[in-house]
Amino acid sequence: MNGNGRTPLIVGNWKMNKTTGQAVVLAQDIANLHYRDYKTVETVLCPPFVDLKSVNGVLEYDRSALRLGAQDVFWEISGAYTGAISPEMLREVGCSYCIVGHSERRAYFGETDADVNRKVHALLRAGIVPIICVGEGLELRDAGDRQAESFILEQVEAALEGLNDRDVSTIVIAYEPIWAIGTGRTATPEQAQAVSVAIRACLGERCGWENARKLRILYGGSLKPENVALFVPMPDIDGGLIGGASLDARAFIDLMKAWL
Ligand code: PEP
């Protein structure tokens, strides 16, 4: 736990990388570097759908403390939704987390705030923790902190519509400025902290401070072992959502260890 009573969370988003054979090798490499005494940080691997079962097999065989997550989900339980994957399917294959609303899903697959909200409800019904991604584009950031923040808070409010206060305390929010994803350019730790404070304050007003204090907020966007130490001391940042660096076992574990 960090000084605020929250367990830091590190999530590796493998995106559309790794065939099943490659995913098994990467999961094994990460599991070999992940020792049992790394209990003070929760660590989640999010491979592509087709790799979930095999990666889960690696983690179970290893009796690893690493957790499994998916990169997306559909909100219906079952039915004629070609190509879609339900929360129940994710749960059965071993997922305890699922990313929703990643900016790449919003940009390339037209995912809307309303879709994100439906996914969040469906995941919670299935007992899977949603990791809700929010974040502004460069134009909004350049327009000023206030504009960027109000856009982000609108995304947060839309994603959480209709949830009860206690549910809100169990979800995870990842602040990922779009201009920092995969670009090598991070937000400054101060910017990320300010956005995290604004999100927590907004949720404190909406669902009570006790619940808002429990909710974890991650930063994502070009986090690397070389820059992570700047983000760790930020009191409202409770871990990271890692893209590129999660494909390198050593880099990913080094990132996680920074939060121990
Ligand atoms: C991401 O895709 O969520 C991400 C943060 O990517 P990267 O770490 O590569 O910027």
Residue 2: band (very low, low, confident or very high) from pLDDT cuts 50, 70, 90 = confident
Is there a contact between 239 and 259 (Cβ–Cβ < 8 Å)?
A: yes
Structure token pair of residue 12: 């590796």
Structure token pair of residue 61: 């065989």
Is there a contact between 103 and 136 (Cβ–Cβ < 8 Å)?
A: no
Inter-CA distances, 116 with 48, 204, 248, Å: 19, 21, 29
What tens digit of pLDDT does each residue of 47-62 get? 999 999 999 999 999 8
Domains of the chain: 9-88+101-248 (3.20.20.70)
Task: Mark whether 104 is an active-site residue.
Answer: no
Provide, rounded to the nearest whole percent, the portion of the chain with pLDDT above 90.
95
At residue 138, does pLDDT exceed 80? Answer: yes
- Cα 192 to middle of ligand 1, angstroms: 14
User: In angstroms, rounded to a whole number, what is the distance separating the alpha carbons of residues 196 and 189?
Assistant: 10
What tens digit of pLDDT does each residue of 189-246 get? 999 999 999 999 999 999 999 999 999 999 999 999 999 999 999 999 999 999 999 9
Ligand 1 pocket mutation, candidates 9, 11, 13, criterion most atoms within 8 A of CB: 13
User: In angstroms, rounded to a whole number, what is the distance separating the alpha carbons of residues 238 and 41?
Assistant: 10
Bridge partners of 219? 175, 240
User: In angstroms, rounded to a whole number, what is the distance separating the alpha carbons of residues 112 and 196?
Assistant: 22
At residue 4, does pLDDT exceed 90? Answer: no
Q: Which of 35-44, 115-124, 192-201, 219-228 has the lowest mean pLDDT?
A: 35-44
| Continuous segment of H or E residues that includes residue 169 | helix 165-170
- DSSP-derived letter for residue 131 is E
- Cα 217 to middle of ligand 1, angstroms: 15
Ligand 1 lining (C-beta closer than 6 Å): 13, 176, 181-182, 220-223, 241-245
